Amino acid sequence: MPRATIGDVARVAGVSKGTVSLAYSGNRPVAEETRRRIFAAAEDLRWTPSQSARALATSRTGSIGLVLNRRPDVIATDTFFSRFIAGCEAVLAEAGMGLMLHVVGDPDAEAAVYERFAAGRVDGVILLDVEQDDTRPELVRDLGLSAVVLTGEQPRTDTSSDLPVVWTDDASAIHELVDLLVHAGHERIAHVAGPLRYVHAATRRRAFEAAMSRHGLEEARIVEGDFTAASGRSAAEQLLGSAAPCPTADGTAPITLPDRPTAIVFANDVMAIAGLSYARSIGLRVPDDLSITGFDDSELSAHLSPGLTSVSTGAEARGEAAARTLLAVLTGAAPQCVEVEGNRVVRRGSLAPPSTV
Protein backbone atom coordinates (compact mmCIF):
# COMPACT_ATOMS: atom_id res chain seq x y z
CA MET A 1 0.00 0.00 0.00
CA PRO A 2 1.49 3.40 -0.96
CA ARG A 3 2.62 5.56 1.92
CA ALA A 4 0.26 8.42 2.75
CA THR A 5 1.37 11.94 1.90
CA ILE A 6 0.69 15.37 3.34
CA GLY A 7 -1.64 15.90 0.37
CA ASP A 8 -3.69 12.87 1.45
CA VAL A 9 -4.01 14.26 4.97
CA ALA A 10 -5.03 17.66 3.62
CA ARG A 11 -7.68 16.12 1.38
CA VAL A 12 -9.21 14.01 4.16
CA ALA A 13 -9.15 16.92 6.62
CA GLY A 14 -10.54 19.33 4.04
CA VAL A 15 -7.69 21.85 4.30
CA SER A 16 -4.62 22.89 2.33
CA LYS A 17 -1.21 21.26 2.67
CA GLY A 18 0.07 24.49 4.17
CA THR A 19 -2.52 24.30 6.95
CA VAL A 20 -1.45 20.71 7.74
CA SER A 21 2.12 21.91 8.03
CA LEU A 22 1.13 24.82 10.26
CA ALA A 23 -0.79 22.49 12.56
CA TYR A 24 2.38 20.51 13.23
CA SER A 25 4.90 23.34 13.25
CA GLY A 26 3.07 25.71 15.58
CA ASN A 27 4.62 28.66 13.74
CA ARG A 28 1.21 30.25 13.19
CA PRO A 29 -2.14 29.73 14.93
CA VAL A 30 -4.50 27.08 13.59
CA ALA A 31 -8.09 26.82 14.81
CA GLU A 32 -8.48 24.04 17.37
CA GLU A 33 -11.25 22.29 15.44
CA THR A 34 -9.13 22.37 12.28
CA ARG A 35 -6.12 21.04 14.18
CA ARG A 36 -8.18 18.12 15.55
CA ARG A 37 -9.40 17.22 12.05
CA ILE A 38 -5.85 17.23 10.74
CA PHE A 39 -4.46 15.10 13.54
CA ALA A 40 -7.34 12.63 13.23
CA ALA A 41 -6.81 12.34 9.47
CA ALA A 42 -3.07 11.83 9.97
CA GLU A 43 -3.70 9.10 12.54
CA ASP A 44 -6.20 7.32 10.29
CA LEU A 45 -3.76 7.45 7.39
CA ARG A 46 -0.76 6.57 9.61
CA TRP A 47 1.06 9.65 8.37
CA THR A 48 3.79 11.46 10.27
CA PRO A 49 5.26 14.83 9.23
CA SER A 50 8.59 14.59 7.46
CA GLN A 51 11.24 17.24 7.53
CA SER A 52 10.04 18.50 4.12
CA ALA A 53 6.48 18.77 5.40
CA ARG A 54 7.64 20.90 8.31
CA ALA A 55 9.54 23.08 5.87
CA LEU A 56 6.28 24.11 4.22
CA ALA A 57 5.46 26.23 7.24
CA THR A 58 8.54 28.34 6.76
CA SER A 59 8.46 28.55 2.96
CA ARG A 60 5.72 31.14 2.62
CA THR A 61 6.03 33.02 -0.65
CA GLY A 62 4.32 36.18 0.56
CA SER A 63 2.15 36.19 -2.56
CA ILE A 64 -1.48 35.58 -3.45
CA GLY A 65 -2.37 34.49 -6.99
CA LEU A 66 -5.09 35.91 -9.23
CA VAL A 67 -5.74 34.56 -12.73
CA LEU A 68 -8.00 36.48 -15.13
CA ASN A 69 -9.30 34.47 -18.07
CA ARG A 70 -10.52 37.54 -19.92
CA ARG A 71 -9.59 39.36 -23.10
CA PRO A 72 -7.08 42.15 -22.43
CA ASP A 73 -9.42 44.77 -23.93
CA VAL A 74 -12.15 43.80 -21.46
CA ILE A 75 -9.77 44.10 -18.51
CA ALA A 76 -8.51 47.45 -19.82
CA THR A 77 -11.97 49.00 -20.15
CA ASP A 78 -13.84 47.43 -17.21
CA THR A 79 -12.83 49.35 -14.08
CA PHE A 80 -14.12 46.59 -11.79
CA PHE A 81 -10.83 44.74 -12.17
CA SER A 82 -8.55 47.65 -11.28
CA ARG A 83 -10.71 48.57 -8.30
CA PHE A 84 -10.90 44.97 -7.09
CA ILE A 85 -7.13 44.55 -7.38
CA ALA A 86 -6.60 47.81 -5.49
CA GLY A 87 -8.72 46.46 -2.63
CA CYS A 88 -6.74 43.22 -2.55
CA GLU A 89 -3.41 45.04 -2.57
CA ALA A 90 -4.42 47.34 0.28
CA VAL A 91 -5.04 44.38 2.60
CA LEU A 92 -2.09 42.31 1.39
CA ALA A 93 0.30 45.24 1.83
CA GLU A 94 -0.68 45.49 5.50
CA ALA A 95 0.25 41.83 5.86
CA GLY A 96 3.56 42.30 4.04
CA MET A 97 2.32 40.35 1.02
CA GLY A 98 1.63 41.04 -2.64
CA LEU A 99 -0.55 39.94 -5.55
CA MET A 100 0.74 37.84 -8.45
CA LEU A 101 -1.49 38.50 -11.48
CA HIS A 102 -1.73 36.36 -14.63
CA VAL A 103 -3.93 37.10 -17.66
CA VAL A 104 -4.73 34.07 -19.81
CA GLY A 105 -6.82 33.36 -22.90
CA ASP A 106 -8.46 30.00 -22.23
CA PRO A 107 -9.33 27.51 -19.45
CA ASP A 108 -6.38 25.22 -20.19
CA ALA A 109 -3.93 28.08 -19.79
CA GLU A 110 -5.64 29.06 -16.54
CA ALA A 111 -5.36 25.51 -15.17
CA ALA A 112 -1.68 25.46 -16.07
CA VAL A 113 -1.11 28.63 -14.04
CA TYR A 114 -2.77 27.07 -10.98
CA GLU A 115 -0.48 24.06 -11.35
CA ARG A 116 2.55 26.36 -11.35
CA PHE A 117 1.12 28.25 -8.39
CA ALA A 118 0.77 24.96 -6.49
CA ALA A 119 4.46 24.24 -7.03
CA GLY A 120 5.21 26.90 -4.43
CA ARG A 121 4.82 30.24 -6.20
CA VAL A 122 1.90 31.55 -4.12
CA ASP A 123 0.32 30.85 -0.74
CA GLY A 124 -3.25 30.89 -2.04
CA VAL A 125 -5.48 32.07 -4.89
CA ILE A 126 -8.58 34.18 -5.50
CA LEU A 127 -11.14 32.72 -7.92
CA LEU A 128 -13.00 35.38 -9.92
CA ASP A 129 -15.60 35.08 -12.70
CA VAL A 130 -17.20 31.92 -11.33
CA GLU A 131 -18.81 29.93 -14.14
CA GLN A 132 -21.72 27.50 -14.29
CA ASP A 133 -20.36 24.06 -13.29
CA ASP A 134 -16.97 25.65 -12.64
CA THR A 135 -14.18 23.07 -12.33
CA ARG A 136 -11.65 25.40 -10.71
CA PRO A 137 -12.70 24.86 -7.06
CA GLU A 138 -12.13 21.13 -7.44
CA LEU A 139 -8.86 21.77 -9.26
CA VAL A 140 -7.37 24.00 -6.57
CA ARG A 141 -8.50 21.55 -3.87
CA ASP A 142 -6.77 18.70 -5.69
CA LEU A 143 -3.65 20.83 -6.02
CA GLY A 144 -3.67 21.64 -2.30
CA LEU A 145 -4.05 25.38 -2.91
CA SER A 146 -5.87 27.55 -0.40
CA ALA A 147 -8.48 29.64 -2.21
CA VAL A 148 -11.38 32.04 -1.84
CA VAL A 149 -14.28 32.27 -4.31
CA LEU A 150 -15.90 35.56 -5.33
CA THR A 151 -19.46 35.45 -6.66
CA GLY A 152 -22.53 37.62 -7.23
CA GLU A 153 -25.07 35.45 -5.45
CA GLN A 154 -25.48 33.77 -2.09
CA PRO A 155 -24.07 30.22 -2.13
CA ARG A 156 -26.77 27.57 -2.09
CA THR A 157 -27.42 26.03 1.30
CA ASP A 158 -27.80 22.56 -0.20
CA THR A 159 -24.19 22.44 -1.35
CA SER A 160 -21.14 22.17 0.84
CA SER A 161 -17.68 23.41 0.05
CA ASP A 162 -14.45 23.60 1.94
CA LEU A 163 -13.62 26.85 0.16
CA PRO A 164 -14.59 30.22 1.64
CA VAL A 165 -16.92 32.42 -0.43
CA VAL A 166 -17.20 36.21 -0.65
CA TRP A 167 -20.50 37.19 -2.26
CA THR A 168 -22.69 40.16 -3.11
CA ASP A 169 -26.40 40.37 -3.89
CA ASP A 170 -26.43 41.34 -7.57
CA ALA A 171 -30.07 40.27 -7.99
CA SER A 172 -31.49 42.89 -5.62
CA ALA A 173 -29.78 45.70 -7.54
CA ILE A 174 -31.34 44.53 -10.82
CA HIS A 175 -34.76 44.34 -9.15
CA GLU A 176 -34.33 47.91 -7.94
CA LEU A 177 -33.40 49.14 -11.43
CA VAL A 178 -36.46 47.50 -12.96
CA ASP A 179 -38.65 48.92 -10.17
CA LEU A 180 -37.36 52.42 -10.89
CA LEU A 181 -38.08 52.04 -14.60
CA VAL A 182 -41.58 50.62 -14.08
CA HIS A 183 -42.48 53.29 -11.55
CA ALA A 184 -41.33 55.88 -14.10
CA GLY A 185 -43.86 54.46 -16.55
CA HIS A 186 -41.81 52.04 -18.67
CA GLU A 187 -43.31 48.77 -19.85
CA ARG A 188 -41.13 47.81 -22.84
CA ILE A 189 -37.88 47.15 -21.01
CA ALA A 190 -35.04 45.11 -22.52
CA HIS A 191 -31.93 43.58 -21.00
CA VAL A 192 -28.44 43.21 -22.47
CA ALA A 193 -26.85 40.41 -20.46
CA GLY A 194 -23.24 39.40 -20.05
CA PRO A 195 -21.99 35.95 -21.13
CA LEU A 196 -24.38 33.55 -19.43
CA ARG A 197 -21.63 31.05 -18.65
CA TYR A 198 -20.69 33.41 -15.81
CA VAL A 199 -22.71 33.02 -12.62
CA HIS A 200 -22.97 36.77 -12.05
CA ALA A 201 -24.26 37.39 -15.59
CA ALA A 202 -26.82 34.59 -15.26
CA THR A 203 -27.85 35.91 -11.84
CA ARG A 204 -28.52 39.37 -13.27
CA ARG A 205 -30.52 37.94 -16.17
CA ARG A 206 -32.67 35.77 -13.87
CA ALA A 207 -33.25 38.76 -11.61
CA PHE A 208 -34.33 40.86 -14.59
CA GLU A 209 -36.80 38.21 -15.74
CA ALA A 210 -38.16 37.80 -12.20
CA ALA A 211 -38.57 41.56 -11.76
CA MET A 212 -40.39 41.90 -15.07
CA SER A 213 -42.67 38.99 -14.18
CA ARG A 214 -43.37 40.51 -10.76
CA HIS A 215 -44.66 43.62 -12.53
CA GLY A 216 -46.73 41.55 -14.98
CA LEU A 217 -44.42 42.38 -17.90
CA GLU A 218 -43.79 39.05 -19.59
CA GLU A 219 -42.55 40.12 -23.03
CA ALA A 220 -39.05 41.18 -22.04
CA ARG A 221 -36.44 41.12 -24.80
CA ILE A 222 -33.00 39.86 -23.81
CA VAL A 223 -29.82 39.97 -25.87
CA GLU A 224 -26.61 38.31 -24.70
CA GLY A 225 -23.45 40.40 -24.98
CA ASP A 226 -19.88 39.75 -23.84
CA PHE A 227 -19.24 42.81 -21.63
CA THR A 228 -17.38 44.63 -24.45
CA ALA A 229 -18.33 47.97 -26.00
CA ALA A 230 -18.70 46.33 -29.41
CA SER A 231 -21.25 43.86 -28.08
CA GLY A 232 -23.14 46.65 -26.32
CA ARG A 233 -23.45 48.60 -29.55
CA SER A 234 -24.45 45.46 -31.48
CA ALA A 235 -27.10 44.58 -28.91
CA ALA A 236 -28.48 48.11 -29.01
CA GLU A 237 -28.75 47.88 -32.79
CA GLN A 238 -30.67 44.61 -32.47
CA LEU A 239 -33.09 46.15 -29.99
CA LEU A 240 -33.49 49.61 -31.50
CA GLY A 241 -33.13 49.02 -35.22
CA SER A 242 -30.86 50.87 -37.61
CA ALA A 243 -33.27 53.23 -39.36
CA ALA A 244 -32.21 56.84 -39.74
CA PRO A 245 -34.15 59.46 -37.77
CA CYS A 246 -37.08 61.21 -39.37
CA PRO A 247 -36.45 64.92 -38.79
CA THR A 248 -39.21 67.34 -37.92
CA ALA A 249 -39.25 71.13 -37.99
CA ASP A 250 -36.94 71.35 -35.00
CA GLY A 251 -34.87 68.36 -36.11
CA THR A 252 -35.26 66.42 -32.85
CA ALA A 253 -37.80 63.69 -33.67
CA PRO A 254 -36.42 60.16 -33.24
CA ILE A 255 -37.27 57.03 -35.14
CA THR A 256 -40.48 55.35 -34.04
CA LEU A 257 -40.83 51.57 -33.93
CA PRO A 258 -43.98 50.14 -32.33
CA ASP A 259 -42.07 47.42 -30.42
CA ARG A 260 -38.93 49.41 -29.68
CA PRO A 261 -38.02 49.23 -25.97
CA THR A 262 -38.28 52.49 -24.05
CA ALA A 263 -35.61 51.34 -21.60
CA ILE A 264 -32.59 49.01 -21.64
CA VAL A 265 -30.90 47.50 -18.58
CA PHE A 266 -27.28 46.69 -19.48
CA ALA A 267 -25.23 44.19 -17.44
CA ASN A 268 -22.22 46.50 -17.27
CA ASP A 269 -21.31 50.12 -17.90
CA VAL A 270 -19.05 49.47 -20.89
CA MET A 271 -21.92 47.97 -22.88
CA ALA A 272 -24.33 50.63 -21.60
CA ILE A 273 -22.12 53.52 -22.70
CA ALA A 274 -21.71 51.99 -26.17
CA GLY A 275 -25.46 51.44 -26.33
CA LEU A 276 -26.14 55.03 -25.34
CA SER A 277 -23.81 56.25 -28.08
CA TYR A 278 -25.55 54.08 -30.66
CA ALA A 279 -29.00 55.27 -29.60
CA ARG A 280 -27.98 58.88 -30.02
CA SER A 281 -26.41 58.14 -33.41
CA ILE A 282 -29.79 57.05 -34.78
CA GLY A 283 -31.58 60.07 -33.39
CA LEU A 284 -32.93 58.79 -30.09
CA ARG A 285 -32.87 61.19 -27.18
CA VAL A 286 -31.63 59.82 -23.88
CA PRO A 287 -33.56 59.77 -21.60
CA ASP A 288 -36.61 61.27 -23.39
CA ASP A 289 -36.97 58.45 -25.91
CA LEU A 290 -34.83 55.79 -24.24
CA SER A 291 -33.74 55.26 -20.64
CA ILE A 292 -30.49 53.36 -20.11
CA THR A 293 -28.93 51.81 -17.01
CA GLY A 294 -25.57 50.13 -16.47
CA PHE A 295 -23.84 48.10 -13.77
CA ASP A 296 -20.46 48.72 -12.03
CA ASP A 297 -20.62 52.55 -11.82
CA SER A 298 -17.39 53.20 -13.67
CA GLU A 299 -15.62 56.54 -13.32
CA LEU A 300 -16.84 57.71 -16.73
CA SER A 301 -20.52 57.06 -15.96
CA ALA A 302 -20.93 60.17 -13.81
CA HIS A 303 -19.39 62.41 -16.49
CA LEU A 304 -21.52 61.43 -19.47
CA SER A 305 -24.29 63.67 -20.75
CA PRO A 306 -26.68 62.57 -19.41
CA GLY A 307 -25.00 60.78 -16.52
CA LEU A 308 -25.48 57.01 -16.57
CA THR A 309 -27.70 55.42 -13.93
CA SER A 310 -25.69 52.46 -12.67
CA VAL A 311 -24.95 50.15 -9.74
CA SER A 312 -21.94 50.89 -7.58
CA THR A 313 -20.57 47.43 -6.79
CA GLY A 314 -18.05 48.24 -4.08
CA ALA A 315 -15.29 46.52 -6.05
CA GLU A 316 -12.57 47.68 -3.66
CA ALA A 317 -14.52 46.39 -0.67
CA ARG A 318 -14.91 43.05 -2.44
CA GLY A 319 -11.17 42.89 -3.01
CA GLU A 320 -10.47 43.74 0.62
CA ALA A 321 -12.92 41.09 1.83
CA ALA A 322 -11.50 38.45 -0.51
CA ALA A 323 -7.93 39.10 0.66
CA ARG A 324 -8.85 39.16 4.36
CA THR A 325 -10.86 35.96 4.04
CA LEU A 326 -8.03 34.15 2.29
CA LEU A 327 -5.43 35.37 4.80
CA ALA A 328 -7.64 34.06 7.60
CA VAL A 329 -7.73 30.62 5.96
CA LEU A 330 -3.95 30.66 5.60
CA THR A 331 -3.67 31.07 9.36
CA GLY A 332 -5.93 28.09 9.97
CA ALA A 333 -9.39 29.64 10.26
CA ALA A 334 -12.38 27.63 9.11
CA PRO A 335 -13.82 28.62 5.68
CA GLN A 336 -16.37 31.43 5.91
CA CYS A 337 -19.23 32.64 3.72
CA VAL A 338 -18.86 36.43 3.76
CA GLU A 339 -21.41 38.86 2.33
CA VAL A 340 -20.17 42.24 1.13
CA GLU A 341 -22.99 44.77 1.09
CA GLY A 342 -21.45 46.90 -1.62
CA ASN A 343 -24.14 47.14 -4.30
CA ARG A 344 -25.92 50.50 -4.48
CA VAL A 345 -28.06 51.92 -7.27
CA VAL A 346 -26.84 55.38 -8.34
CA ARG A 347 -29.58 57.22 -10.20
CA ARG A 348 -28.52 59.80 -12.78
CA GLY A 349 -29.96 61.55 -15.80
CA SER A 350 -30.17 58.54 -18.13
CA LEU A 351 -33.38 57.34 -16.45
CA ALA A 352 -36.66 59.24 -16.87
CA PRO A 353 -40.30 58.60 -17.79
CA PRO A 354 -40.81 57.66 -21.45
CA SER A 355 -41.96 60.42 -23.78
CA THR A 356 -45.14 58.48 -24.53
CA VAL A 357 -46.54 55.90 -22.13
3-state secondary structure labels for all residues of 135-159: CHHHHHHHHCCEEEEEECCCCCCCC
154-168, 174-188, 259-273, range with the lowest pLDDT: 154-168
- What is the mean pLDDT of the segment spanning 75-96? 90
Residue 88 predicted with pLDDT over 90: yes
The partner residues of 146 in beta bridges, in order of sequence, read 124
- What is the mean pLDDT of the segment spanning 303-330? 94
| Number of domains composing the chain | 3
Q: Please indicate, yes or no, whether the overall pTM of this predicted structure exceeds 0.75.
A: yes
Residue 52 predicted with pLDDT over 80: no
Q: Do 124 and 139 fall into the same domain?
A: yes
Residue 47 predicted with pLDDT over 90: no
Q: Express as a percent the part of the chain with pLDDT over 70.
A: 89
Task: Write the CATH number for 235.
Answer: 3.40.50.2300
The residue ranges of DSSP E strands in 106-247, in sequence order, are 124-127, 146-151, 165-167, 189-193, 221-224
**pLDDT for residue 91:** 92
Residue 117 predicted with pLDDT over 70: yes
Distance CA 297, CA 325 (A): 25
Distance CA 143, CA 126 (A): 14
Q: Do 174 and 144 fall into the same domain?
A: no
Q: Do 299 and 319 fall into the same domain?
A: no
Q: Do 175 and 304 fall into the same domain?
A: yes
- What is the mean pLDDT of the segment spanning 126-145? 91
Q: Do 104 and 187 fall into the same domain?
A: no
